[in-house]
A and B are shown apart, each in its own frame.
Chain A
Amino acid sequence: MRNQYQERSTVIRIIFLTVGIIFIVRLAFMQVFDSEYRRQADRQALRPITQFPARGLIYDRNGELLVYNEAVYDLMVIPRMTKGLDTNMFCRVMGITRDEFDARMRKACKYSTYSASPFMKQVSKEEYGSWENSLYKFRGFYVQQRTLRVYDKPIAAHVLGYVGEVDQSEIDADKFYKQGDYIGKSGLEKSYEEVLRGIKGKRIMQVDVHNREIGSYMNGAYDTMAVEGGNLYTTLDASLQEYAEGLMANKRGCIVAIEPSTGEVLAMVSAPGYDPNLLVGRVRGENYQMLLQDISRPLLNRALIEHYPPGSIFKVAQAVTALQLGVITPNSGFVCDKSLVGCHNHPSARSVQEAIKMSCNPYFYQVYRRVIQQGKYKSIYKDSPYGLTVWRDYMLRFGFGQKMGIDLPASGITPGFIPDTAFYNKRYGRERWAFSTIYSNSIGQGEVTVVPIQMANLACIVANRGYYITPHLVRYYGPDSVRNEEFYTKHETGINKAYFDIAANGMYDVVHVAGGTARRANIPDIDICGKTGTAQNIGEDHSVFICFAPKEKPKIAVAVYVENARGGGGYWAAPIASLVIEKYIRGEVTRKDVEKMYREAAPCQKLPLTRVAKKKKK
């Protein structure tokens, strides 16, 4: 039994041996009898040259070119091939010193002596022209073309982002990148990197003993063409962006303008900003360090990353949520009882609309109490967690408490915070808290924080009377005009449209009726609906205003944050927002005096506003 089929071991040995013999015979033919391979190898002075595709261009919503490319040249070196180099002549031709030469060569050798690495990076077209014809004298050196970004208007730096050299972790993460390649590091350049970068090509050149390229290898049979990167067609309005950036001069804060019906971001300003041309080319590293160390943090996109207690603006969301839950009616009136929570002097509000207009704190204290303690349970310690869960669910539907799904890198977006029962249980203990513990949320001052873009989105929700489309910056991209379907879906709040009409009426009164908190935003002929707020801050509070216009069929929704600005939302943020709206709807601003005043005003005198140092020439 054991030795059954033993003869088959011989068959198996024969199979093994046959394959071995085939291999050895094949090797004999290739290595011993055929000298063609050897000759090929000797002639194999081949140089694979990567063809870098031009990065995709970026346009604004009207077809204006925001970002394009210019050609620069990298002088590459393969150290092993430079034996016998006339170093003195080389230094003279290239215009570098001997020490510089040695340092660069050491660096190249450290990378690899066999593979090419950049010797001189980003040489301009003119400089390249001055030694192009002498290059053949220097064995081991050749030139590789690359492109750099150019910005005609120094605007929208935070949105566009910048491009930089790949670091080791990026090389490890994606085989596409090689040492010295460029990659989008922030903004749209990063989030649309795979669209913008294109596909690299490869040309294999034959090189003679004098290091001259004598043509394509095998007539280019093994070459691949580079494919240009896809263009981005953004939603930005370049002239509005430029105008809004001008309004934020000498200030800190941000402006977000969105077309409510589409979620398209028309302008996104974060101040102080910087000229995007600063982060291009050989001066990039130095300028980047300078911007990084600036205490006013010009590299941050405040519209997405800062989060503040929302202040009075939050009351709009509370009003419609309470109406939807049926815990108040449009005609509910509450006495302005300053013993509950502080307020300014005004007649008591007799309706939701009036309460929004007057921004009455005790009124919303009462509203929030009815939301949190709906009476489902006898014990308020059981009732409050129930109410909070219901309330939180509504707040999330407004886009609060979660990262906005805008098409910018998620690492630069803050979710903000809407507390849940787990949060309060941890802080106070299970069934140890109730409405009276958390009432500050009612006026946007408790644990709640929101991000400026979420505030702009709230204005969109009221403008749309109940839904929003995720704010986004790119309409379509690439040669096939690809659209991101996610940016065409309506996110419904599930709140009755009629309640939003009430909120819109209240916001209309804020700007237009005596006793409203933002009369300064009033422009004849344009129906602006808005809500002021004050974001509490260590130090001077921030002035906040959200609004949309016109009241019917709104074309634009705006959120404005001015940091450390005394006087509340009505004083600083509201007039700035009204200028943005006027500029967008009319095309130009007629109130030149107002424009001039707010352009020049600098609200935060106490903190020195470090101006970005003078732009270094590339």
Chain B
Amino acid sequence: METKIDWVTLLLYAAILVFGWMNIYAACYDEAHTAILDLHTMHGKQLLWIGISVVIALIITHIDPHIFSSMSYLIYLVVIGLLVVVLFVGTVTKGGLSWIDFGSFKFQPSEFAKFATALALGKYMSSLDLDYRQLRTKLIAWGLILLPAGIIILQHDTGSALVFASFLLPLYREGMSPRILIVGLVAVVLFVVTLLLGKYKLILVGVLAAIALLYLFGWLNKRTRKHYIWVTAVFAACTLFIFSVDFAFEKVLQPHQRDRIYVLLGKTDEKTNSTTGYNVYQSKIAIGSGGVFGKGFLKGTITKADFVPEQETDFIFCTVGEEWGFVGSTLLILAYIGLLFRLVTLAERQYSKFSRIYGYSVASILFLHLFINIGMALGLLPVIGIPLPFFSYGGSSLMAFTILLFIFLRQDQERTNPI
């Protein structure tokens, strides 16, 4: 039985889309070019992308949803193929190589790899008689995620590759041990603290050693042999990690990535490229100067004078902050969180496991984009260039996010006919 499309999601999608376009219009606003449908301007082009996306959404909501499940692997293979093609014939933009050029039309397959991976992962994880505890199962699931991520890293588009970490959440929901999430969190904390301490990182090792000793000989009475081995191993691993941070930092990260992390940690006295610091600083001034109610639509000063870079794409949130202030920014964030909550609700009401996993993938992908993009604009995260979903300027990303979302909404309509 088919039900109506979820109007809550639809409404939030439309609201974000419209608000996003208004901000793109403001970001590239120029008194001399005010015509809305001028295809030489960014807002004009974006309007075209929005139109195309609406058509795509309409098409998706009118096709048989079972097709997504049955074609999952095929779509996945096609996108992987495209990613490999980009490696050879791609065009270089912003130092990354991730576009296929069709004449004047550019196309970024990495945007489409996200929903393809979500489909393939959902398909695999929902296979009958699958034992999640088997190593084979884990390896295949991880392989499905890491293959596209790896190719995207080869394209020097680290930001897009990072988004694939979002698949940890659907895996966790399906029963994966939370250990990996905790290990990841601990690693990030240790990494940051180690960099902040610099040459005083022995202090950190000392603190960890103290905790380990307290744990072993202090209040805990469970002094089994296995327990000793465990605590010592964890301590050794952490120490090793701390000492390899410098190496990883110097050898693995690119210079501009190091700069961005230094800037974030306020260590600009280190040998950093001052441009990065300047950009983040301008972004913060733009947002901070917005005040409670903002300077008003089209009245921003910092985002108008070309002080903020990439202000239609990666730094679009600056325009929101400056022109709409705390109220507008908070409403936007609430709209996004509302959308994510709604998606979780929808995912939980699915009868098929495939749809549920796919739904969680959609929510998690949107979440990671939101987290990185706004976190960066607020100076909480290093500068990583990825778009704000449904909001940033760009045809490939808008279309890919629309496809991602509406495939799920289509499945939700048919949730009572399990696939």
On A, residues with C-beta under 8 Å from B are 2, 4-6, 8-9, 11-13, 15-17, 19-20, 22-24, 26-28, 30-32, 34, 36-38, 40-42, 44, 46, 48, 80, 109-115, 204, 221-224
Contact mask B374-402 → A, CB, 8 Å, 1/0? 11001010000000000000000000000
Interface residues of B in 314-351 (CB under 8 A from A): 321, 325-326, 329-330, 333-334, 336-337, 340-341, 344, 347-348, 351
Determine whether B371 belongs to the interface, using a CB cutoff of 8 Å to chain A: yes
Residue numbers in B under 8 Å from A80 (CB-CB): 31
A30 touches B32 (CB 8 A): no
B32 touches A109 (CB 8 A): yes
Tell which of A37, A40, A110 has the most Cβ of chain B within 10 Å: A37
In the complex, what distance in Å separates the CA atom of A425 from the CA atom of B285? 72
A32 touches B30 (CB 8 A): no
Which of A11, A34, A115 is B288 in contact with, Cβ under 8 Å? A34
Count CB-based A-B contacts (< 8 Å): 126
Determine whether B111 belongs to the interface, using a CB cutoff of 8 Å to chain A: no
A222 touches B277 (CB 8 A): yes
Residue numbers in B under 8 Å from A224 (CB-CB): 274-275
Residue numbers in B under 8 Å from A8 (CB-CB): 172-173
In the complex, what distance in Å separates the CA atom of A23 from the CA atom of B326? 11
Known A-B contacts: A16-B367, A27-B326. Give 9 more (CB < 8 A): A9-B173, A15-B169, A17-B337, A28-B326, A30-B321, A31-B292, A41-B289, A114-B304, A221-B274
In the complex, what distance in Å separates the CA atom of A385 from the CA atom of B348? 75
CB distance from B283 to the nearest CB of A (A): 11
Residue numbers in B under 8 Å from A24 (CB-CB): 330, 333
In the complex, what distance in Å separates the CA atom of A605 from the CA atom of B46? 62
B173 touches A20 (CB 8 A): no
B337 touches A31 (CB 8 A): no
CB distance from B305 to the nearest CB of A (A): 6
Which of B290, B336, B340, B380 is A31 in contact with, Cβ under 8 Å? B290
A13 touches B344 (CB 8 A): yes
In the complex, what distance in Å separates the CA atom of A111 from the CA atom of B30? 9
- Main secondary structure on chain B at its contact with chain A? helix
Residue of A nearest to B301 (CB): A41
In the complex, what distance in Å separates the CA atom of A16 from the CA atom of B365? 12
CB distance from B36 to the nearest CB of A (A): 18
A40 touches B289 (CB 8 A): yes
Tell which of A15, A41, A46 has the most Cβ of chain B within 10 Å: A41
A26 touches B378 (CB 8 A): yes
Name 15 interchain pairs, CB-CB below 8 A, sorted by A: A9-B348, A15-B367, A16-B340, A16-B367, A28-B326, A31-B291, A31-B292, A31-B321, A31-B325, A38-B288, A44-B285, A48-B306, A110-B32, A222-B275, A224-B275
CB distance from B37 to the nearest CB of A (A): 19
Given A16-B337, A23-B374, A5-B288 contact (CB < 8 Å) = no
Given A8-B172, A27-B330, A36-B288 contact (CB < 8 Å) = yes
In the complex, what distance in Å separates the CA atom of A15 from the CA atom of B286? 28
Which of B302, B336, B348, B380 is A20 in contact with, Cβ under 8 Å? B336
Given A16-B337, A222-B274, A2-B348 contact (CB < 8 Å) = no
Residue numbers in A under 8 Å from B305 (CB-CB): 114-115
Residue numbers in B under 8 Å from A38 (CB-CB): 288-289, 291
Which of A5, A20, A31, A32 is B174 in contact with, Cβ under 8 Å? A5
B307 touches A46 (CB 8 A): yes
CB distance from B323 to the nearest CB of A (A): 12
B333 touches A5 (CB 8 A): no
Given A12-B169, A113-B30, A37-B304 contact (CB < 8 Å) = no
A19 touches B371 (CB 8 A): yes
Residue numbers in B under 8 Å from A5 (CB-CB): 173-175
B291 touches A32 (CB 8 A): yes
The 9 A-B pairs at the shortest CB distance, nearest first, are namely A37-B288, A41-B289, A20-B337, A31-B326, A30-B288, A222-B278, A38-B289, A113-B31, A16-B340
In the complex, what distance in Å separates the CA atom of A344 from the CA atom of B380? 89
In the complex, what distance in Å separates the CA atom of A38 from the CA atom of B294? 11
Determine whether B68 belongs to the interface, using a CB cutoff of 8 Å to chain A: no
Determine whether B116 belongs to the interface, using a CB cutoff of 8 Å to chain A: no
Residue numbers in A under 8 Å from B380 (CB-CB): 22-23, 26
A112 touches B30 (CB 8 A): yes
Residue numbers in A under 8 Å from B32 (CB-CB): 109-113
Tell which of A27, A36, A46 has the most Cβ of chain B within 10 Å: A27
In the complex, what distance in Å separates the CA atom of A41 from the CA atom of B282? 9
Tell which of B277, B286, B333 has the most Cβ of chain A within 10 Å: B333
Determine whether B156 belongs to the interface, using a CB cutoff of 8 Å to chain A: no
A32 touches B274 (CB 8 A): no
B285 touches A20 (CB 8 A): no
CB distance from A104 to the nearest CB of B (A): 15
Tell which of A24, A34, A38, A114 has the most Cβ of chain B within 10 Å: A114
In the complex, what distance in Å separates the CA atom of A114 from the CA atom of B274? 24
Residue numbers in B under 8 Å from A6 (CB-CB): 348
CB distance from B30 to the nearest CB of A (A): 6
Given A37-B285, A114-B30, A4-B302 contact (CB < 8 Å) = no
Residue numbers in A under 8 Å from B351 (CB-CB): 2
Determine whether B258 belongs to the interface, using a CB cutoff of 8 Å to chain A: no
Determine whether B360 belongs to the interface, using a CB cutoff of 8 Å to chain A: yes
